Structure 1
Amino acid sequence: MKTVKTTACLALLLGATAVSVPAFAEEASKAASTTNVEIIAGDDTNEIIDPIEPPTNQKGPLVIDAVSSFDFGKIKLGTLTKEAVVPEGKALGVQVTDKRGTGAGWDLSASITEFQNADKTKTLKASVKIPAGQVNTSASDSSKAAVASEIILNSTAGTVFSASKDNGMGSWSDLFEGNNQKVELTVPSDAYVAAYTATINWSLQDAPK
């Protein structure tokens, strides 16, 4: 009896399977259509990723969107190193956007003039260090990143931020004080009392060095 019951169940199952096989319709006709798009370089102003001020409001396919000024406040003689003051709710850094769509890469360099007082009778032999910081992006592929470099500014331009071929497309920011780093001013012990100002010149080249 046991064998008979098993065989009957199998027969019912197989029968149910055979009945459920669907019938497939034959293709009566087919066609093909096309879809087209042309990508062109962008030239609008760009959204600032991080709270870096001031914005430059520059337009174009390859631009510096924002770059910080540095305020070191007051330094007492005898203090050799001072960190830059960060405004509340803001960040020190620079942002570059590449909307050329060529993958050519780019190089952002900086140089600094002498620190001078208002009537240019005194100079300060100080140095400013910008750390490599933290790189952020709005690009969809963060693996093709721009690279930040530490630099001690002087009269000769040096690379701060760069992108090799096929990298750095889209908007990229370098937060100078990311990763617990600081923008620092070092002053000599023989400095004269005065208020000093220097100008940092930023230059964005359309190809990596």
Structure 2
Amino acid sequence: MKKILVLLSLVCVWPLTGHAQDVDGKAETEFQANNGPVAPVDPDEGNEVVPVYPPTNGPLSLSYAADLEFGSHKFNGKESSFLAENYTVTQVATNKAKQYPPFVQINDLRGSGAGWTLAVKQNSPLAKENGVEIANSQFKISALSAESPHGMTQQPSTLYSKNVSNNGETVPIISAKEGEGMGTWTIFLGDMGSQNPELSVPLASVKETGRYQTSLTWILQDVL
């Protein structure tokens, strides 16, 4: 008798009857206000540039304020107006020089979006080292635009065109409302041409030839 051996291959699938276990974890970080100085940067390229004056400290700070140079002019004894020259900045890493209209650069790193105001004050009359003054001269300064070198979009929306004179008055130039002006912003005070800051000298107020100068104080504060 022949015997037949039949081999059966059994595949058994056993369902998993246990319960999946979930564990929740955390990922967190903390941002704090920056209380140190912030180096000024090229308005277009965002690279660090050589400062004119040391940047101020604090989460709401000034890192750059261009001097206003009005050049050399012939003494004519008449009322005259002069435009500020364009300004040259120098990149720290490459020594590359670029020209811009005069500008002020501010930093709002408070993280609150509370807004701010930038103002300016003339501290003394235009005068020579020997004390001779130009009486009743004034500057016309306009905030033409505010641009972010880092791509921020909520730019300050209130821009002023103001006359600045030696009367002790603090004059607003630009304001950021709540939710505006966070990060680093370059405030351009001109357009490389006819809208640069303007110096007006009254009729017959120049008594002597020579170099005249004054100082301006830029004031950055919480929005009023």
TM-score calculated relative to the size of structure 1: 0.76
Asked if residue 127 in structure 1 is aligned to residue 138 in structure 2, the reply is yes
Asked if residue 97 in structure 1 is aligned to residue 110 in structure 2, the reply is no
Q: In structure 1, give the amino acid aligned to 2:99.
A: K
Hey, what's the Cα distance between the residues in 2 that align with 1:138 and 1:75?
35
Q: CA deviation at 1:59?
A: 3.1
Asked if residue 159 in structure 1 is aligned to residue 159 in structure 2, the reply is no
Asked if residue 182 in structure 1 is aligned to residue 196 in structure 2, the reply is yes
Is contact 1:53–1:90 with CA below 8 Å preserved after alignment?
no
TM-score calculated relative to the size of structure 2: 0.72
Cα shift readout 1:60-93 (whole Å, capped 9, x = no counterpart): 2111110011111222323611111224533211
Q: CA deviation at 1:105?
A: 1.4
Show the 5 A alignment for 1:17-166: 28-44=20-36, 45-50=38-43, 54-76=52-74, 77=76, 78=78, 80-88=80-88, 89-91=98-100, 92-112=102-122, 113-138=124-149, 140-145=151-156, 147-154=158-165, 155=167, 156-166=169-179
Distance change (3 Å), C-alpha of 1:52 and 1:143: farther
| Structure number with higher helix proportion | 1
Hey, what's the Cα distance between the residues in 2 that align with 1:71 and 1:124?
19
Q: CA deviation at 1:202?
A: 1.3
Q: Out of 214, 217, 222, which is 1:201 matched to?
A: 217
Stretches of structure 2 lacking an aligned partner (at least 5 in a row): 1-16, 44-48, 89-97
Q: In structure 1, give the amino acid aligned to 2:181.
A: G
Distance change (3 Å), C-alpha of 1:105 and 1:52: farther
| Structure number with higher strand proportion | 2
Hey, what's the Cα distance between the residues in 2 that align with 1:56 and 1:162?
23
Distance change (3 Å), C-alpha of 1:82 and 1:52: farther
Distance change (3 Å), C-alpha of 1:30 and 1:167: same
Stretches of structure 1 lacking an aligned partner (at least 5 in a row): 1-25
Q: CA deviation at 1:164?
A: 1.4
Q: In structure 2, give the amino acid aligned to 1:42.
A: N
Root-mean-square deviation (CA, aligned residues, Å) is: 2.6
Distance change (3 Å), C-alpha of 1:95 and 1:54: same
Corresponding pairs, count:
184
Distance change (3 Å), C-alpha of 1:104 and 1:124: same
Is contact 2:175–2:223 with CA below 8 Å preserved after alignment?
yes
